[in-house]
């Protein structure tokens, strides 16, 4: 049976848009003086359908999986790092775990297809489909059925999650290759513009990676539609995130996107349902070559650029307090009228 996607409506609401802007303009500050924080507050109000938006119980999904193509030397690190880092997330020692804890964000790690089996643990969901994908340079990374299962898993995980905000994170050695392939095929860009250093390849390594990616595109020539492309060139963690994004958008959650890889899941979801992008806030521009191009493909402006190139959801967790602040400004800041402050004289 074909996969059914949740309905994602246009958030368009002219009255709310006008009221939010009027409210922001009436706050005790020179017009527009809070810069991008004002557009962020406006977007949060539109997503949550409120002039007094309030974020609660933020949920970070760290979707993890391995990539068959990693055996071709497309990463500077070995595949074993994927399962070892899952252990690190669960122990609370990874960068994103530290940041999530600092901001009271609930971290859930999802084993979507890691080449290692984990004992049951708090904060770990087992949604393993296989012990990693097949090598995409030889043919499809996943079957369409496996890909649909991964998307369905992501939809189901988000369905009953508490809170009204989803932060996207991932772990999977080789997954900057998968994200680059998705960008190359879905945006029709030369893969040399999409492939970057990932975990730290040098120039020679990037050239080798690019050559392998060209093989993957040639081995999967027939995949053009978003879901078959995701199956052929993506990964279990990216497919699970794609499903998570679709359900989060359907439920009007705020979706806080991290770097190159989590953006690739959003890109796939937006090709399936364009209004997804209305609910997405892009935390940052990763220094991974290809992310700027991917953001452009989605007409997305990120909140900041700190030269991050980690993934895991680290940039999303860093951006979280800015979203909380934007809501607080809209809710709690005095207006010229309420505070008795004089407005602009000319």
Ligand X SMILES: Cc1cc2ncn([C@H]3O[C@H](COP(=O)(O)O)[C@@H](O)[C@H]3O)c2cc1C
Shortest CB 72 distance to ligand X, Å: 12
Contact residues: ligand X, CB under 6 A: 75-77, 81, 85, 170-177, 198-199, 310-312
Query: And the tokens for 79?
Result: 């595949």
Catalytic-labelled residue, pool 9, 312, 337, 346: 312
The residues in 190-249 that bind ligand NIO, with binding defined as CB under 6 A, are 198-199
Among 79, 270, 286, 289, binds ligand NIO (CB under 6 A): 286
User: Closer CB to ligand X, residue 111 or residue 170?
Assistant: 170
Query: CB of 11 within 8 A of CB of 278?
Result: yes
Shortest CB 79 distance to ligand X, Å: 9
Query: CB of 295 within 8 A of CB of 277?
Result: no
User: Closer CB to ligand X, residue 34 or residue 178?
Assistant: 178
Classified as helix, coil or strand, 64 is strand
Give the integer Cα–Cα distance in Å for 105 and 165: 10
**Pick from 43, 116, 34: nearest CA to 81:** 116
**Span interacting with ligand NIO, options 32-40, 272-280, 306-314, 338-346, rule CB under 6 A:** 306-314
**Pick from 338, 280, 272, 283: nearest CA to 311:** 283
Query: CB of 276 within 8 A of CB of 168?
Result: no
Binding status of residue 259 toward ligand NIO by CB under 6 A:
yes
Alpha-carbon distances, residue 140 vs 56, 252, 337 (angstroms): 40, 33, 62
For residue 177, the partner it binds in ligand NIO, ligand X, none, with Cβ less than 5 to 8 A by kind, is ligand X
Shortest CB 339 distance to ligand X, Å: 46
For the question of residue 312 being annotated catalytic, the response is yes
Query: And the tokens for 40?
Result: 């962020």
Q: How are strands ordered across the β-sheet holding 165-171?
A: 124-126, 106-113, 59-65, 165-171, 254-257, 280-282
Binding status of residue 288 toward ligand NIO by CB under 6 A:
yes
Query: And the tokens for 294?
Result: 């991917």
Shortest CB 191 distance to ligand X, Å: 14
For residue 180, the partner it binds in ligand X, ligand NIO, none, with Cβ less than 5 to 8 A by kind, is none
Binding status of residue 261 toward ligand NIO by CB under 6 A:
yes
List interacting residues with ligand NIO (CB under 6 A).
176, 198-199, 258-261, 286, 288, 291, 309-311
Which residues have a catalytic role annotated? 312
């Amino acid at each position: 049976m074909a996969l059914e996607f949740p309905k994602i409506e246009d958030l368009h609401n002219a009255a709310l848009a006008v009221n939010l802007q009027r409210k922001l303009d009436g706050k005790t500050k020179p017009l527009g003086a809070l810069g991008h924080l004002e557009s962020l507050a406006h977007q949060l109000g539109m997503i949550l359908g409120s002039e007094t938006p309030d974020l609660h119980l933020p949920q970070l999904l760290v979707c993890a999986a391995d990539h068959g193509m990693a055996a071709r030397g497309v990463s500077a690190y070995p595949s074993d790092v994927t399962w070892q880092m899952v252990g690190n997330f669960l122990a609370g020692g990874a960068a994103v775990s530290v940041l999530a804890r600092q901001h009271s964000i609930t971290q859930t790690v999802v084993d979507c297809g890691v080449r290692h089996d984990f004992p049951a643990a708090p904060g770990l969901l087992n949604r393993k489909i296989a012990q990693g994908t097949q090598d995409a340079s030889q043919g499809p990374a996943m079957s369409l059925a496996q890909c649909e299962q991964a998307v369905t898993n992501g939809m189901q995980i988000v369905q009953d999650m508490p809170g009204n905000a989803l932060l996207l994170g991932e772990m999977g050695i080789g997954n900057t290759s998968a994200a680059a392939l998705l960008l190359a095929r879905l945006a029709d860009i030369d893969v040399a513009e999409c492939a970057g250093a990932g975990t730290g390849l040098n120039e020679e390594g990037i050239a080798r990676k690019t050559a392998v990616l060209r093989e993957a595109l040639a081995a999967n020539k027939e995949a053009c539609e978003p879901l078959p492309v995701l199956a052929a060139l993506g990964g279990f963690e990216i497919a699970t995130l794609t499903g998570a994004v679709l359900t989060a958008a359907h439920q009007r959650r705020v979706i806080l996107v991290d770097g190159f890889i989590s953006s690739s899941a959003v890109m796939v979801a937006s090709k399936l349902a364009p209004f997804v992008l209305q609910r997405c806030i892009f935390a940052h521009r990763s220094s991974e070559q290809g992310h700027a191009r991917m953001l452009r493909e989605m007409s997305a402006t990120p909140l900041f650029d700190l030269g991050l190139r980690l993934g895991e959801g680290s940039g999303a967790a860093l951006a979280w307090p800015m979203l909380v602040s934007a809501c607080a400004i809209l809710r709690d800041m005095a207006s010229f009228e309420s505070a008795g402050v004089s407005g602009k004289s000319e």
